[in-house]
């Protein structure tokens, strides 16, 4: 019995020493790991904003982003975003845009997509398609990796939308009350191609919005195709909330309505 007790005490002593050792290693390496992660972020920012000679970090509503400058002038901005694809972990990417709101470069920071299939979103052949684009929905996805490439497109779109408001704010909103009575047609870009709408204005109000042509996925896009026009008419404003799960379709309809009324 005493032998068992001695063995238990020895084992407990060894476990305690191991725990102290692990704690010491953790405390020593934690600052180094955090510093390396910060350096990786800054290097990624410099990569997507290659023409910037000065990088400034900012934060807005808890969102961290970076402004790139050259000769004291803002030439673009960048931020890290996450988007869920097919893998267990989200795809993390650094996205840069220029002062006109066009994507400069997209860099994948980490991903856990299926090797050889979804992992192809990390190829230069795919990521280079975003450069110079102001609407990520227009970028062609990867055949056989629809979910993964769609996740990247969604993440890039989120970054563009946030950063564009900072470095390339849109023109003044359309005053519906100044639009002459009539029915107008406009085109916006959905996930799988153009979306065409007709907008009827009467007495300074939008009385009807119809999606007349589109190539979006049946079932998935349906809530946006019916819901966005209804929301615009009910709220009498163009910037209504997008439909969850049909973001690109929602934004394409809104874009089409704006183009119709311009």
Give the pLDDT confidence score for residue 56 in this predicted structure: 93
Give the pLDDT confidence score for residue 223 in this predicted structure: 93
CA angle 70, 75, 76 (to 5 degrees): 130
End-to-end Cα, the chain, rounded Å: 90
Calpha distance 199→205 (Å, rounded): 10
Q: Determine how β-strand 63-70 pairs with β-strand 182-189.
A: unpaired
Give the pLDDT confidence score for residue 24 in this predicted structure: 61
Q: Structure tokens of 210? A: 């119809």
Give the pLDDT confidence score for residue 7 in this predicted structure: 67
User: What one-character DSSP code corresponds to residue 229?
Assistant: H
Q: What is the pLDDT of residues 24-46, one digit of tens each?
A: 665 666 565 566 767 888 999 99
φ, ψ (nearest 5 deg) of residue 103: -65, 130
Distances from the Cα of 162 to the Cαs of 38, 41, 47, 106, in angstroms? 22, 18, 19, 15
Helix extents (H) in 142-235 = 146-167, 222-235
Give the pLDDT confidence score for residue 32 in this predicted structure: 57
For 173-193, b/e burial (b = at least 16 CB within 10 A) is eeebeebeeeebebebbbbbe
**Residues linked to residue 4 through DSSP beta bridges, in sequence order:** none
In the chain, which stretches have pLDDT less than 50? none
Sheet with 54-60, edge to edge strand ranges:
54-60, 63-70, 73-83, 91-98, 103-110
Closest alpha carbon to 224 in 214, 177, 53, 157: 214
């Amino acid at each position: 019995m005493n032998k068992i007790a001695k063995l238990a005490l020895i084992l407990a002593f060894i476990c305690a020493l191991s725990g102290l050792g692990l704690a010491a290693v953790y405390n020593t390496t934690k600052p180094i790991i955090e510093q390396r992660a910060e350096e990786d972020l800054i290097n990624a920012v410099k990569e997507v904003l290659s023409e910037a000679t000065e990088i400034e970090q900012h934060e807005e509503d808890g969102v961290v982003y970076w402004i790139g400058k050259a000769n004291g002038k803002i030439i673009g901005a960048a931020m890290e975003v996450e988007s869920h694809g097919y893998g267990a972990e989200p795809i993390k990417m650094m996205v840069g845009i220029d002062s006109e709101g066009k994507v400069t470069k997209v860099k994948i920071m980490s991903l856990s997509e299926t090797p050889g299939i979804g992992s192809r979103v990390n190829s230069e052949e795919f990521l280079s398609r975003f450069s110079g684009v102001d609407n990520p929905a227009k970028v062609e996805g990867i055949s056989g990796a629809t979910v993964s490439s769609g996740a990247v497109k969604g993440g890039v779109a989120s970054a563009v939308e946030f950063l564009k408001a900072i470095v390339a704010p849109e023109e003044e909103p359309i005053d519906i009350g100044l639009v002459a009575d009539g029915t107008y047609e406009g085109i916006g870009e959905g996930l799988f191609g153009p979306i065409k709408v007709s907008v009827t204005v009467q007495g300074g109000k939008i009385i009807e919005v119809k999606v007349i042509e589109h190539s979006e996925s049946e079932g998935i896009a349906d809530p946006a195709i019916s819901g966005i026009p209804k929301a615009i008419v009910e709220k009498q404003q163009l910037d209504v909330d997008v439909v969850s799960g049909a973001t690109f379709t929602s934004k394409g309809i809104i874009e089409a309505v704006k183009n119709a009324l311009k």
